[in-house]
Amino acid sequence: MQYYTCSLLLLLIHSLVGIVDGEKSLKLDIYPGYGWDHLRLLEMNPVYDVSNFNDSDVFQSCIEMLPIRQSKIDLESDIVDLYDSRSVDYASKYVMEGSLNFEKFKLGGSYESNYQKIKKQQSHERTIAIRNELSILVADVILSSNCPLNYRVKKDLIEIAKYSQNQPLSASYAAQMFIRKYGTHFTSRIQLGGTIVEEDFFLLSDFNSTETIVRQQKAAAEASFLKTFKLINCSFIISRNSRNTTENIALDD
């Protein structure tokens, strides 16, 4: 018996359409160059001196936007079994892990809630999931390599460097506060677009792991996904990647 839960995730484009020299262009209100807390999934304070005065595409600094004018739609269909390392690496997309070393101070962990929820469900209900994702990209926003650090970041780094010479405890505390303000990482590139996701859960007792049956079950999950979001009557090209081949499938009315 098959049963599924359907989750819809829409990543909306944080942008406005403006007119520049008689042509439409994207005016951004989301930028790379900011700190990112890879444990709490939060955008933090700016690390680089990225600026955008009056929401203008003329007075932007440190960023370059590359519109993807002919964006293709990618449909992925992956088997997810969090207790089987041979299945897709769900953690690479949904388990946010981070670590940072400074002197004797170390930060690390994995707390992403969706991963914990899926893992608990697969354990209690003995299920395996087939995950379908439909995504489209609109633009790449890239941080310039010559962008200077934000002046507050410079000030905090100098303070840590001074403490590290003869006040290790103060240096460790300042480093922790630095991570609290700026996160564990920073963003150097942002891709703007949208994603729709559906996860179909199968009972392990009903899931046949032979290659032929698996292909049939993945095809059934894809069909369910397309029907759920009324995409079967759309006309577009889907690029589907398998382990050995890449093929294009046209879905026309």
Q: Which residue ranges make up each domain of the chain?
A: 2-251
Q: How many CB atoms lie within 10 A of CB 227?
A: 10
Rounded distance between C-alpha atoms, residue 127 and residue 206, angstroms = 9
H or E element in which residue 75 lies: strand 73-80
d(CA 5, CA 7): 7
| pLDDT tens-digit profile, the chain (253 residues) | 333 333 333 333 333 333 333 344 555 666 788 888 877 777 888 899 887 655 555 556 788 888 876 555 556 676 766 555 545 555 545 433 333 343 443 333 344 456 666 667 766 767 777 777 777 777 788 888 889 999 999 999 999 999 999 999 999 999 999 999 999 888 888 877 777 777 777 777 666 666 666 677 777 777 777 777 666 544 443 434 333 333 333 333 4
Residue-level pLDDT at 156: 95
Q: Using an 8 Å Cβ cutoff, are 179 and 20 in contact?
A: no
**Residue 38 CA to chain centroid, in angstroms?**
11
Burial class (CB in 10 A: 0-12, 13-18, 19+), 242: exposed
Per DSSP, 186 falls in state E
